[in-house]
Structure 1
Amino acid sequence: MRIILKIQPHRLIKYAFLLALAAAIVAAGAGLYLYSHYARLVDKALLVRPWDRTPTVYSAPTRLFPGQRLTASALANLLYRRGYLRSSRLDRPPVFTVAMDGRSVTIANERDWADLQPTPPVPVRVEFAEDRIARIVPAAGAPLPVFHIRPAVLAAQQAGRRRARVPFGELPQNLVYAVLAAEDQHFFTHGGIDWQGILRAFFRNAQAGGIREGGSTISQQLSKNLFLTTERTVNRKFSEAMIALILETRLSKEQLFEIYANDVYLGQCASFSVYGLAEAAELYCSKSVRNLDLAECALLAGLIRSPNQTQPLRHPEAARRRRDQVLAAMEDAGFILRPERAAAAARQLPTANTTLLGAVKAPYFLDYLAARSAPVPAPDGTAPVVMTSLNLELQQVAETALTEGSNRVRAVLRGKYPDEPADSFQAAFVVLDAASGEILAMTGGLEYTASAFNRAASARRQAGSVIKPFIFARLLDLARRPSGPVLTAASVVVDRPCTIRYGGRAYRPHNYRNQYHGAVTMKTALAKSLNAATILFAQQGGFPQVAEAVNRLGFSGRAVPYPSTALGTVDVSPLEVAAAYTVFLNGGRRLPPSPWRTGTAARPAGGPAVFSPESAFIVLDMMQAAVARGTAQNIGRQGITWPMAAKTGTARDGWFVGLTGNLIGCAWMGYDDRREFPLSGGESALFIFTEFLSRAGDMYPVAPLAPEPPPGLTAGTVCPVSGRLARAGCPSPETSWFVAGTEPRETCLSTH
């Protein structure tokens, strides 16, 4: 028997109504929850004003030390600039006071700037004799070798990001109209979402098969800029819309527009991120935003949609076309009349203000810093503080050295090579703290406003002979193995034209200017940077071993097991070279370069071990011979007298690396188009380092090189021709270091 259930029509209506009511309640609850969720996020963020969280970038604290060239009045002026107050109340730091006789300055810090610790040190008295610091005496204790004061502000934002905030009421009316026409014509009438624009974007995206247009209002763009990521997804668009609706209830239209106008991204000027219409007006139009004419207002508003594709310095025609499109949109919206549009469209693009770029301190370093990571706001939501490793005094010395050294080389080129374009070469220089790897100075080119490409960090060129110290360190390490070659600093090869057959190919190394020296020790081969002798030594250790050692040094280029690798065919940057040379002042351990200030108490104990401490020390001693009698002896001729080590390099460019007791500097000279540079590293890049070192001692406590030999080493005086113990009559005997038990035991019998 079949049972048929009949439901009365009025009951169907009732069930449908209840189901719809339940769905409405659920939807309302979900909507209320989402609104409350986003409202809490927005309200919390607005309390800390996210548009004002501009990071402040500081240099490393400035060091004061006995012997520093500085007067009491100059120190007082420096303290003023660093935010110290002149006061006798030393219990309210940061303050300073100057003695009545002007011969001392007493300083009270608010924290320990050496270690970046919050505990303030006791006040110190800096005493002067003539134009130098004589002593630094704390209120209690013995005189100090160094004292740190507050760092300098490098930028009020990362990588030169200088936001000048302008109130809504001071924005030109035509600029407001131009932004509305370009981005959101109905901004002052909608509630945060332009439904007509969303429908238009929906159909265009459907036709394109993906998200190509957002249809975002100014409120939605502001939501994305302040609260969200830049990814284009449905979830992000929903969040953007919710936050826009909430912002409209929390801030007035004028406030929203003001924040947007001061925060919107407007492209790159050189390597600077340009944020805000006021910043863009200064850079692109060379005037205050308050004085923009109609054509300039349309130009800046046109940048918003595609700032880098329409950047007027790089793409003037694209910028002009976009400006004219905005002018047309302004006329269509009724903001301007046709004659006004025609007159503005006939205007030439304005001239950019490059002097603003030149005024930024250490621009190449700030660019490098910006590429490493973005500053993170403090836990309380306040603006982040970025403590960098840059020593502002050394940076200024490095920039001067690059200019003066390049001027000297330019004069040499004009004299020796009159047909060579003496003004077309480039140069770069970087200085590291030898104990930490911190970047103390960096300049990536001769003039930042002419070329923002950072050759110190980003140029990749063949290393040339600056690779040789690592080759010899590897060979000395191999010699300590039971099956390794018997090689020491006194081992001898015959430096002469030769042919090396490897991998089915013949390789013929040539010495610089085809000068050969006959029988030479390993120490002489490195000091005089002899290519043929280096290849012969490397052959004894094995070219795969040589390549393996090079590939452990952190270079971006990859070394291959071939004879030419021992002569530096691997591509490197000056920064990578300087970092690699930290192995020689840190017991064979490589320290990665860092733009961040860690403080002396938090410095790393050491990076990965690349070479043994013994081999690192022996090669460092060999590089000191390069200064005394090798390719770097030009250093002494420039008046540099304190002990140091160095290595020159010549491939298609000029290289120079100098090492003091606490600094490592790497200089490079060459052509951007990779043409061969006609001068060796000892005739070119060396002068950058000597110009730097001759000035740095007045501004920084440069330590002479005085390394302590590790246990197990012994010294011996050997003949540079035979490699045996020297005797009377041996020409220019050299003192070398050996692992105990490997030193020569036989006396030279040669008649020379």
Structure 2
Amino acid sequence: MTKKTRKNKKSSATAKKRGSSLWRKIWSLTWKLAIVGAAVVSFYAIYLDQIIAQKFEGQKWHLPAQVFSRSMALYPGAAINHPQLMAELKLLGYRKVANPRQVGEFSASSTRIELWRRPFLHPEGNQAEQRVMISFDSEGVSSVTRMSDKRELAVFHLEPVLLDRIVAGDGEDRLFVPSPEIPSIIIDALILVEDRSFYDHFGVNPLAIARAAMVNITAGRTVQGGSTLTQQLAKNFFLSSERSIVRKVREALMALIIDFRYSKDEILEAYLNEVYMGQDKSRGVHGMGLASQFYFGRPVGELTVSQQAFLVAVIKGPSYYNPWRYPERSQERRDLVLRILMENDKLTVAQYKAAAESPIGLRSAKKSVHQKLPAFFAVVKQELRDRYGDSLLQQSGVKVYTTLDPMAQEAAEKAVTSTMALLNKRAKNIQVGMVVTDKYSGGIAAMVGDKVPGYEGFNRAVEIRRPIGSLIKPFVYASALNQSDKFTLATPVEDKPITLKNEQGKTWSPKNFDKKFSGQVPLLTAFKDSMNVPTVNVGLAVGVSNVASTLQKSGWADDISPYPSMLLGAVNGSPLMVAQVYQTVADGGRYRKLTSITAVLDSQNQALDVSRAAGSQAINPATDYLIQYAMNQVVRNGTAKRLGAAFPGVRLAGKTGTSNDSRDSWFAGFDERNVAAIWVGQDDNSKTGLYGSSGAMAVYQAFLQQRPPLSLRMIPVNGVINGYFDRTTGAAKQGNCDNIIGLPALDSSYRPAKNCGESLSWWQKLVGN
């Protein structure tokens, strides 16, 4: 072997040795980096796992506080007529059919309604689905019979209307629905359309990703996605929508962790309640539960096959497949989902054809899934703050049950809108405030704070303070009639010019509206014709302080200056304050503080404590009956007789009111169901040229046209009898005497003369006649 050869071999060996050493170094570095990488990934996975566990095992979503209307109670004798219940069922999204076969359906004849009620959460506990027959008579509900055993029920509740959800700052709105309550067709369609291997993969489907990549490369654009439902859930829950490799890797890793930690059913339930389904103005519609209400106005469990298929169809692009803007596009997508269901034996051919040929059945685009009730919601929020503090509405899953009657609210809004358009031709820039209460529950049934009911601004139903004018007169006369030994409805009252002087020497000479004087008039006439001078005389006779006390006991919250001018309404108030005291009159003289909330449940559906002030008897029930009678006379042939003429045969109670120079037009009245208080005027307190009968009463009349009134029952209470009085002197008489009038009177002081001879009334004796 030559020297050169030996040198070459040595060089080759050295090179091999160096090469081997390099590979060993590379290998050493590689596995060290792999260990480090694995450790990093492991630690990162542990970090992600903690984030995922915190989300899944804690509060997945901040569920908006739900605000419900009152729950309509049906029972024998309830003041609810057939048309009102029909309207309520329509509002709740019940379907009218020939024969109810499932939940959410009803049938109707002229005197009966057969209803299959939905199950729902009531403040007093869960209410199961129930099939009942409701019968009506001229007074309202006559009976409620359970169909399963023909048992008559003492009380039966309809589910309340979901008025709104108070959405958090993220703008996400949803109604949580457990997966067992989601129809199987939706779940089958979702898996077939979005992720066919959902039950087989481990959160990520490499084959689907590869297939999507090939399709996209061939098309030259993104036309197909490879993400699984689990990946979509990970992205929606934890990640942004940016398109990057890092985000996709993180998404895949999180999907693997989610799939490892949780069952497929848990993942599916989370997806069904998280998925983005559309946009309702500033609110994002998330989840199948809210999407069902948003698109169709009814619970997801009551959707047709066609509607269920549409919900899955719209997932691909809620804006692109917006059914109101692109009906053909959205229907084509729905039909594709239906065809996929048929091809995979989830629908028969007949079911597919029936669903594909049916319309989607959308709710009206004009009808929002949440009510815009700025005036009422302002009162609700204030009451919640007063009861529970500022933090309650920030808690997830709170349920607030209110007193609002959706039908009364709709009638009030229509009445305000139509009437103000007409009145604006007579008096420019006029405004309105209106409060309607439920006579039986003592709750606020409706509220409008602006001539544009949905306007969020100054709430005139609550915040104004304007002279209430003649609306104070029932409390003047209640104070007098309570002194039954001195006053009856027949008592003659002086109607002559008077002048009063105060401590500063200033004089006040009240005048009647027509600037005329009658000498004397019966107390009932003074009341129903809203005469000022007789009212002042009566008020002075019983004492201004007594009148103020009657008003305050009836619920007037503000202080009252006990001056004689107060007797004619020189007392500032709001429609809510007026509604409070007239609610007392309508409720037999019983004062109960008006409320807007009946119950509040926390996220665990546990009722929060509610402390309410005890009610009290503000006006003697027998005296109150006389005031109701007098207010009915106001409508029959007094200052509100146009209202009576508009509803012949219906017994109503009312009182008109006008402040000085026609600056404020007021009306307060009630039927058997609701009390209403209405103010019409200008914000700058200028003259309107409107009186109580031409302004505010017109709004009330329009309200009753939208919500047909129930006639007052006017059942005499204990202590009230039918009395007879001399038309001239007001003296109590026997029923067989001449020149008499029959009027209700308090039994405690009704002492008719034994013969029909002349006798003087208390008032005549007082004035020395």
Q: What is the TM-score of this pair, normalised by structure 2?
A: 0.57
CA distance in 1, matches of 2:501, 2:756: 34
> Cα–Cα, structure 1 residues 531 and 56, in superposed 2: closer, same or farther, change >3 Å?
same
CA distance in 1, matches of 2:90, 2:720: 50
> Cα–Cα, structure 1 residues 744 and 645, in superposed 2: closer, same or farther, change >3 Å?
farther
Aligned to 1:393: 407
What SS does the corresponding residue of 1:472 show, helix, strand or coil? helix
CA distance in 2, matches of 1:713, 1:510: 33
What SS does the corresponding residue of 2:631 show, helix, strand or coil? helix
Aligned to 1:500: 500
CA distance in 2, matches of 1:136, 1:63: 11
- The amino acid that maps onto 1:611 is I
Aligned to 2:691: 680
> Cα–Cα, structure 1 residues 488 and 406, in superposed 2: closer, same or farther, change >3 Å?
same
1:608 is displaced (CA, Å) by: 2.0
CA distance in 1, matches of 2:168, 2:579: 23
Whether 1:711 and 2:725 are equivalent positions in the alignment is no
1:678 is displaced (CA, Å) by: 1.5
Deviations 1:625-684 (A, max 9, x none): 111221111112223531121111111311111121232111111111112332211121
What SS does the corresponding residue of 2:458 show, helix, strand or coil? coil
User: Of 373, 376, 382, which residue of structure 2 is paired with 1:362?
Assistant: 373
Deviations 1:85-116 (A, max 9, x none): 999876xxx5546699xx97540342586x84
CA distance in 1, matches of 2:629, 2:623: 10
1:449 is displaced (CA, Å) by: 5.4
> Cα–Cα, structure 1 residues 81 and 106, in superposed 2: closer, same or farther, change >3 Å?
closer
Q: 8 Å contact 1:719–1:734 — kept in the other structure?
A: no
Aligned length: 515
- The amino acid that maps onto 1:563 is P
> Cα–Cα, structure 1 residues 80 and 549, in superposed 2: closer, same or farther, change >3 Å?
closer
> Cα–Cα, structure 1 residues 638 and 128, in superposed 2: closer, same or farther, change >3 Å?
closer
Q: 8 Å contact 2:493–2:521 — kept in the other structure?
A: yes
1:169 is displaced (CA, Å) by: 5.8
User: Of 619, 629, 635, which residue of structure 2 is paired with 1:627?
Assistant: 635
What SS does the corresponding residue of 2:617 show, helix, strand or coil? coil
CA distance in 2, matches of 1:172, 1:748: 100
CA distance in 2, matches of 1:89, 1:524: 58
Q: 8 Å contact 2:586–2:675 — kept in the other structure?
A: no
> Cα–Cα, structure 1 residues 608 and 172, in superposed 2: closer, same or farther, change >3 Å?
farther
CA distance in 2, matches of 1:686, 1:722: 34
Aligned to 1:591: 592
Deviations 1:485-541 (A, max 9, x none): 822322222213211234454221121232433311222211111111011011111
What SS does the corresponding residue of 2:616 show, helix, strand or coil? coil
Whether 1:724 and 2:734 are equivalent positions in the alignment is no
User: Of 610, 620, 623, which residue of structure 1 is paired with 2:618?
Assistant: 610
> Cα–Cα, structure 1 residues 644 and 709, in superposed 2: closer, same or farther, change >3 Å?
same
CA distance in 1, matches of 2:679, 2:428: 16
User: Of 445, 449, 461, which residue of structure 1 is paired with 2:450?
Assistant: 445
Aligned to 2:185: none
CA distance in 1, matches of 2:624, 2:611: 21
Aligned to 1:486: 486
1:360 is displaced (CA, Å) by: 3.8
Which structure 2 residues correspond to residues 166-565 of structure 1 after superposition, within 5 A? 360-374=371-385, 382-411=396-425, 413=426, 422-448=427-453, 452-477=457-482, 479=483, 486-503=486-503, 504-565=505-566
Contiguous gaps of at least 5 residues in structure 1: 1-39, 174-261, 263-273, 279-287, 291-354, 414-421
CA distance in 1, matches of 2:742, 2:171: 57
CA distance in 1, matches of 2:758, 2:167: 66
> Cα–Cα, structure 1 residues 748 and 522, in superposed 2: closer, same or farther, change >3 Å?
farther
Higher-Rg structure is 2
Deviations 1:534-585 (A, max 9, x none): 1101111122222233333333432112101111111111111111112223
- The amino acid that maps onto 1:668 is W
> Cα–Cα, structure 1 residues 531 and 171, in superposed 2: closer, same or farther, change >3 Å?
farther
Q: 8 Å contact 1:495–1:533 — kept in the other structure?
A: yes
CA distance in 2, matches of 1:617, 1:456: 28
1:433 is displaced (CA, Å) by: 1.0
Which structure 2 residues correspond to residues 57-72 of structure 1 after superposition, within 5 A? 57-62=67-72, 67-69=81-83
Q: 8 Å contact 2:411–2:706 — kept in the other structure?
A: yes
CA distance in 1, matches of 2:567, 2:649: 31
CA distance in 2, matches of 1:63, 1:404: 30
User: Of 108, 115, 135, which residue of structure 1 is paired with 2:117?
Assistant: 108
1:120 is displaced (CA, Å) by: 3.4
CA distance in 2, matches of 1:577, 1:150: 31
CA distance in 1, matches of 2:720, 2:108: 52
1:715 is displaced (CA, Å) by: 2.0
Aligned to 2:247: none
Q: 8 Å contact 1:108–1:123 — kept in the other structure?
A: yes
1:149 is displaced (CA, Å) by: 2.2
1:171 is displaced (CA, Å) by: 7.3
Contiguous gaps of at least 5 residues in structure 2: 1-49, 175-235, 244-273, 275-281, 287-316, 320-365, 601-609, 760-769
> Cα–Cα, structure 1 residues 729 and 120, in superposed 2: closer, same or farther, change >3 Å?
same
- The amino acid that maps onto 2:595 is S
**Cα RMSD over matched residues?**
5.0
- The percentage of aligned residue pairs carrying the same residue is 26
CA distance in 1, matches of 2:715, 2:161: 35
1:410 is displaced (CA, Å) by: 3.5
CA distance in 1, matches of 2:380, 2:84: 30
What SS does the corresponding residue of 1:724 show, helix, strand or coil? coil
Deviations 1:59-97 (A, max 9, x none): 12346788523898x887655479x9999876xxx5546
CA distance in 2, matches of 1:653, 1:169: 58
Aligned to 2:681: 670
- The amino acid that maps onto 2:725 is V
> Cα–Cα, structure 1 residues 630 and 112, in superposed 2: closer, same or farther, change >3 Å?
farther
1:146 is displaced (CA, Å) by: 8.1
> Cα–Cα, structure 1 residues 88 and 435, in superposed 2: closer, same or farther, change >3 Å?
closer
What SS does the corresponding residue of 1:118 show, helix, strand or coil? strand
CA distance in 2, matches of 1:456, 1:364: 7
- The amino acid that maps onto 1:607 is G
- The amino acid that maps onto 2:615 is G
Deviations 1:188-222 (A, max 9, x none): xxxxxxxxxxxxxxxxxxxxxxxxxxxxxxxxxxx
> Cα–Cα, structure 1 residues 527 and 54, in superposed 2: closer, same or farther, change >3 Å?
same
CA distance in 1, matches of 2:242, 2:685: 49
- The amino acid that maps onto 2:520 is A
Q: 8 Å contact 1:649–1:680 — kept in the other structure?
A: yes
Q: 8 Å contact 1:520–1:722 — kept in the other structure?
A: no
Aligned to 2:672: 661
> Cα–Cα, structure 1 residues 507 and 357, in superposed 2: closer, same or farther, change >3 Å?
farther
Q: 8 Å contact 2:667–2:692 — kept in the other structure?
A: yes
- The amino acid that maps onto 2:419 is G
- The amino acid that maps onto 2:489 is A
User: Of 46, 64, 68, which residue of structure 2 is paired with 1:54?
Assistant: 64
- The amino acid that maps onto 1:706 is R
Q: What is the TM-score of this pair, normalised by structure 1?
A: 0.58
- The amino acid that maps onto 1:397 is A
CA distance in 2, matches of 1:633, 1:605: 37
1:159 is displaced (CA, Å) by: 11
What SS does the corresponding residue of 2:667 show, helix, strand or coil? strand
Deviations 1:388-425 (A, max 9, x none): 111111111111111223234345x2xxxxxxxx3300
> Cα–Cα, structure 1 residues 729 and 686, in superposed 2: closer, same or farther, change >3 Å?
farther
What SS does the corresponding residue of 1:69 show, helix, strand or coil? helix
> Cα–Cα, structure 1 residues 536 and 362, in superposed 2: closer, same or farther, change >3 Å?
same
CA distance in 1, matches of 2:445, 2:623: 27
- The amino acid that maps onto 2:68 is Y
- The amino acid that maps onto 1:695 is Q
